[in-house]
Protein backbone atom coordinates (compact mmCIF):
# COMPACT_ATOMS: atom_id res chain seq x y z
CA UNK A 1 0.00 0.00 0.00
CA UNK A 2 1.12 3.49 -0.80
CA UNK A 3 1.41 5.12 2.58
CA UNK A 4 2.09 8.69 3.48
CA UNK A 5 4.08 9.29 6.65
CA UNK A 6 0.97 9.82 8.83
CA UNK A 7 -0.53 6.57 7.63
CA UNK A 8 2.59 4.70 8.42
CA UNK A 9 1.95 5.68 12.01
CA UNK A 10 -1.09 3.44 12.00
CA UNK A 11 0.48 0.06 11.50
CA UNK A 12 -0.27 -2.39 14.28
CA UNK A 13 1.56 -1.99 17.53
CA UNK A 14 -0.93 -4.18 19.39
CA UNK A 15 0.11 -5.03 22.87
CA UNK A 16 2.70 -2.30 23.09
CA UNK A 17 0.31 0.57 23.50
CA UNK A 18 -2.18 1.74 26.11
CA UNK A 19 -5.81 2.20 25.07
CA UNK A 20 -5.29 5.94 25.33
CA UNK A 21 -2.38 5.86 22.91
CA UNK A 22 -4.43 3.78 20.49
CA UNK A 23 -7.28 6.27 20.55
CA UNK A 24 -4.79 9.08 20.05
CA UNK A 25 -3.49 7.42 16.92
CA UNK A 26 -7.02 6.74 15.70
CA UNK A 27 -7.88 10.41 16.20
CA UNK A 28 -4.92 11.33 13.99
CA UNK A 29 -6.16 8.99 11.27
CA UNK A 30 -9.70 10.36 11.49
CA UNK A 31 -8.35 13.89 11.32
CA UNK A 32 -6.55 13.05 8.06
CA UNK A 33 -9.53 11.38 6.42
CA UNK A 34 -12.68 12.86 7.87
CA UNK A 35 -13.16 15.60 5.31
CA UNK A 36 -12.67 13.19 2.40
CA UNK A 37 -15.94 11.65 1.26
CA UNK A 38 -16.10 7.88 1.20
CA UNK A 39 -13.20 7.44 3.59
CA UNK A 40 -15.02 5.27 6.13
CA UNK A 41 -13.52 2.03 4.86
CA UNK A 42 -10.02 3.47 5.00
CA UNK A 43 -10.57 4.68 8.57
CA UNK A 44 -11.93 1.29 9.61
CA UNK A 45 -8.97 -0.39 7.99
CA UNK A 46 -6.61 1.78 10.02
CA UNK A 47 -8.69 1.30 13.15
CA UNK A 48 -8.42 -2.46 12.82
CA UNK A 49 -4.68 -2.03 12.35
CA UNK A 50 -4.43 -0.05 15.56
CA UNK A 51 -6.81 -2.03 17.75
CA UNK A 52 -6.64 -5.46 16.12
CA UNK A 53 -10.43 -5.58 15.89
CA UNK A 54 -13.40 -3.17 15.80
CA UNK A 55 -15.80 -3.82 18.69
CA UNK A 56 -19.13 -2.00 19.12
CA UNK A 57 -17.65 0.74 21.32
CA UNK A 58 -15.06 1.52 18.68
CA UNK A 59 -17.73 1.61 15.97
CA UNK A 60 -19.70 4.05 18.11
CA UNK A 61 -16.61 6.17 18.67
CA UNK A 62 -15.82 6.36 14.96
CA UNK A 63 -19.45 7.10 14.06
CA UNK A 64 -19.48 9.93 16.61
CA UNK A 65 -16.27 11.40 15.24
CA UNK A 66 -17.54 11.22 11.66
CA UNK A 67 -21.04 12.39 12.62
CA UNK A 68 -22.47 9.34 10.93
CA UNK A 69 -25.17 6.86 12.01
CA UNK A 70 -23.47 4.07 13.94
CA UNK A 71 -25.64 1.57 12.06
CA UNK A 72 -23.94 2.69 8.87
CA UNK A 73 -20.51 2.04 10.34
CA UNK A 74 -21.71 -1.31 11.60
CA UNK A 75 -23.11 -2.08 8.16
CA UNK A 76 -19.67 -1.68 6.62
CA UNK A 77 -17.84 -3.53 9.40
CA UNK A 78 -20.20 -6.48 9.18
CA UNK A 79 -20.25 -6.49 5.36
CA UNK A 80 -16.54 -7.13 4.81
CA UNK A 81 -14.97 -10.30 6.20
CA UNK A 82 -11.76 -8.34 6.51
CA UNK A 83 -13.16 -6.51 9.51
CA UNK A 84 -13.56 -8.31 12.78
CA UNK A 85 -15.64 -7.30 15.76
CA UNK A 86 -13.91 -9.76 18.09
CA UNK A 87 -10.20 -9.98 18.93
CA UNK A 88 -8.35 -12.13 16.42
CA UNK A 89 -5.79 -14.79 17.22
CA UNK A 90 -2.09 -14.33 16.78
CA UNK A 91 -2.37 -16.05 13.39
CA UNK A 92 -5.27 -15.91 10.94
CA UNK A 93 -5.85 -19.01 8.84
CA UNK A 94 -8.03 -18.48 5.77
CA UNK A 95 -9.23 -21.48 3.77
CA UNK A 96 -10.06 -20.58 0.18
CA UNK A 97 -13.59 -21.57 -0.83
CA UNK A 98 -13.36 -20.29 -4.36
CA UNK A 99 -14.65 -22.70 -6.99
CA UNK A 100 -11.29 -24.25 -7.90
CA UNK A 101 -10.17 -24.74 -4.31
CA UNK A 102 -13.58 -26.01 -3.27
CA UNK A 103 -13.74 -28.75 -5.90
CA UNK A 104 -10.19 -29.80 -5.23
CA UNK A 105 -10.77 -30.41 -1.54
CA UNK A 106 -11.01 -27.08 0.23
CA UNK A 107 -13.92 -28.38 2.25
CA UNK A 108 -11.95 -31.34 3.62
CA UNK A 109 -9.13 -29.01 4.59
CA UNK A 110 -11.57 -26.83 6.47
CA UNK A 111 -12.99 -29.87 8.27
CA UNK A 112 -9.48 -30.95 9.23
CA UNK A 113 -8.74 -27.51 10.60
CA UNK A 114 -11.95 -27.29 12.63
CA UNK A 115 -11.14 -30.72 14.12
CA UNK A 116 -7.51 -29.93 14.80
CA UNK A 117 -8.15 -26.50 16.29
CA UNK A 118 -11.47 -27.34 17.94
CA UNK A 119 -13.10 -24.15 16.68
CA UNK A 120 -15.62 -23.18 14.03
CA UNK A 121 -15.33 -20.68 11.20
CA UNK A 122 -14.94 -17.13 12.51
CA UNK A 123 -13.76 -18.34 15.91
CA UNK A 124 -10.49 -18.03 17.76
CA UNK A 125 -8.77 -20.75 19.77
CA UNK A 126 -8.99 -20.27 23.56
CA UNK A 127 -5.22 -19.74 23.76
CA UNK A 128 -5.54 -16.86 21.34
CA UNK A 129 -3.21 -18.43 18.83
CA UNK A 130 -5.40 -19.08 15.77
CA UNK A 131 -8.43 -17.54 14.10
CA UNK A 132 -10.09 -19.66 11.43
CA UNK A 133 -11.81 -18.06 8.46
CA UNK A 134 -12.99 -18.96 5.00
CA UNK A 135 -12.42 -16.69 2.07
CA UNK A 136 -13.66 -16.23 -1.47
CA UNK A 137 -11.28 -16.86 -4.37
CA UNK A 138 -7.84 -15.47 -3.64
CA UNK A 139 -6.73 -15.70 -7.25
CA UNK A 140 -4.43 -18.68 -6.74
CA UNK A 141 -6.59 -21.19 -8.59
CA UNK A 142 -3.54 -22.81 -10.18
CA UNK A 143 -2.32 -23.69 -6.68
CA UNK A 144 -5.65 -25.08 -5.50
CA UNK A 145 -6.57 -25.96 -2.89
CA UNK A 146 -4.97 -22.99 -1.17
CA UNK A 147 -4.84 -21.80 2.43
CA UNK A 148 -3.36 -18.53 3.64
CA UNK A 149 -1.86 -18.02 7.06
CA UNK A 150 -1.15 -14.39 7.88
CA UNK A 151 -1.41 -13.56 4.18
CA UNK A 152 1.17 -16.18 3.11
CA UNK A 153 -0.22 -18.71 0.63
CA UNK A 154 0.18 -22.45 1.33
CA UNK A 155 -0.43 -24.23 -1.95
CA UNK A 156 -1.90 -27.58 -3.00
CA UNK A 157 -2.88 -28.53 0.48
CA UNK A 158 -4.48 -31.69 1.72
CA UNK A 159 -5.44 -32.86 5.18
CA UNK A 160 -2.01 -34.24 6.01
CA UNK A 161 -0.11 -31.29 4.64
CA UNK A 162 -2.12 -28.74 6.58
CA UNK A 163 -1.64 -30.78 9.77
CA UNK A 164 2.07 -30.72 9.10
CA UNK A 165 2.01 -26.94 8.61
CA UNK A 166 0.29 -26.49 11.97
CA UNK A 167 2.77 -28.86 13.60
CA UNK A 168 5.79 -27.00 12.23
CA UNK A 169 4.48 -23.88 13.88
CA UNK A 170 6.35 -21.46 11.70
CA UNK A 171 4.14 -19.07 9.86
CA UNK A 172 4.60 -16.07 7.70
CA UNK A 173 7.27 -15.14 5.24
Partner 1 sequence: MINLTIDNKKVQGQEGQTVLQVAEANGIHIPTLCYMEGVHENFSCRICVVEVEGMRNLQPSCSVKAAEGMVVRTNNEKVLSARRTIVNLMLSNGAHNCLSCEKNGDCQLQDAAYELGIEAPKFILKSENDPGIDDSSPMIIRDNRKCILCKRCVIACNKIVDNDVLGLAQRGSETVVVCDTDKPMGESSCVQCGECVQRCPVGALIEKKSVGKARSWETTKVRTTCPYCGVGCQLNLHMKGEEIVKVTGVEGAQPNDGRLCVKGRFGYDFIYSDERLTTPLIKQADGTFREASWDEALDLVANKFKAIIAKYGPEAVAGVSCARSTNENSYQMQKLVRAVFQSPNIDHCARVCHAPTVSGLMKSFGTGGMTNSIQEFANTKLLFCIGTNMTEAHPVASTFVKNGARNGAKLIVCDPRRHRLADYADIFAQMKVGSDVAFLNAIMNVLINEDLYDKEFVRDHCENFEELKACVMKYPPERGEEISGVPKETIIEIARMLGTVKPAMLIYTLGITEHTCGTDNVISVANLQMLLGNIGKENTGVNPLRGQNNVQGACDMGALPNVLPGYQSFTDPAVNAKFAKAWGVDSIPAKNGLMIAQMLDGLLDKTIRGLFLFGENLVQAEPDIAHVEKCMAAAEFLVSTDIFMTETTRFAHVILPAASWCEDEGTYTNCERRISRVRKIKNAPGEAKPDWWIFKQIAKRFGHEWASNSAREIWDNELAVLCPSFAGVKYYRLDGDGIQWPCPSEDHPGTQILHKDGNFTRGKGLLVPLEWTPPAEVPDAEYPFVLSTGRRLYHYHTRTQTGRAKGLNDLLPEEYADISDIDAGRMGIADGEKIRVWSRRGSVEVTARVSERIQPGLVWMAFHYREGNANWLTNKAYDRVTMTPEYKACAVNISKL
Residue numbering of the annotated binding site for [2Fe-2S] cluster: 96, 101, 137, 141
Of the listed pieces 69-77, 95-103, 114-122, 136-144, which binds partner 1 according to CB under 8 A? 69-77
Strands (E), the chain: 91-96, 130-135, 147-149, 152-154
Identify which of residues 74 and 163 has a Cβ nearer to partner 1 in the complex.
Answer: 74
Helix (H) or strand (E) holding 33: helix 19-33
Residue 92, strand partner residues:
131
3-class DSSP state for residue 123?
coil
Q: Which of 35, 67, 160, 168 binds partner 1 (CB under 8 A)?
A: 67
Size of the site for partner 1 (CB under 8 A): 13
Which lies closer to partner 1 via its Cβ, residue 82 or residue 129? 82
Beta strand 147-149 with 91-96 is antiparallel
Residues that bind partner 1 (CB under 8 A): 56, 59-60, 67, 69-75, 78-79
Amino acid sequence: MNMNPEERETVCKCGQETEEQKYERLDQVIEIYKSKPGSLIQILHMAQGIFGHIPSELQEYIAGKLNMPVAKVHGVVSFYTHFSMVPKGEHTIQVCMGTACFVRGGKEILETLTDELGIGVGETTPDGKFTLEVTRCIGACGLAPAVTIDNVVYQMMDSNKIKQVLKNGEFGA
